[in-house]
Amino acid sequence: MMKFFGKKEKDAIVSIATGTMIPANKINDPVFAQEMMGQTIGFQLEVGEIVSPAKGIVEMIFPTGHAFAIRMSDGTGFLVHIGIDTVELNGKGFKVCVKQGQSVKAGQTIVKMDLSLVQSLGYDTTTMLIVSEPINKTIDYISFGKVKKGQVISK
């Protein structure tokens, strides 16, 4: 098993995208900014490729491609929500690369989004990573700032 900075691969949480990792209070949506769904961080995307934050199972993926959930073997659940109000696009500009129920590795591509198209249609493409279950679990993340997809972001 590979180790990342002393962490076993199965325990590592990785950046879901290349861009700038931001705290929840910098997200332009009150549900995400106030962390109503669980511990939340955001990513201001530079590239429209969204990867799994951890090794686990694709528990749910919206047909529109704008959101998906990953469940780790220890029960930790993650929800990834790509953009704000992007459900309104009905899948336009999104390509789902996995199937529900599929096992995935941390850093594996889940969704590709045509970043320039979605932005040109007036949508905020900030992408949220939420620790949805268990609700009382918190992840210690590295400092906010520039990150690359697949980079370990858990301490």
Q: Which residues are catalytic?
A: 81
Q: How many other CB atoms sit within 10 Å of the CB of residue 68?
A: 23
Distance separating alpha carbons of residues 97 and 39, to the nearest angstrom: 26
What phi and psi values does residue 138 have, to the nearest 5 degrees?
A: -125, 145
For the CA atoms of 148, 150, 152, 154, the dihedral, rounded to the nearest 10 degrees, stands at: 100
Q: E strands within 24-107?
A: 39-45, 49-51, 56-61, 67-71, 77-82, 94-96, 103-104
Return the amino acid letter for 111: V
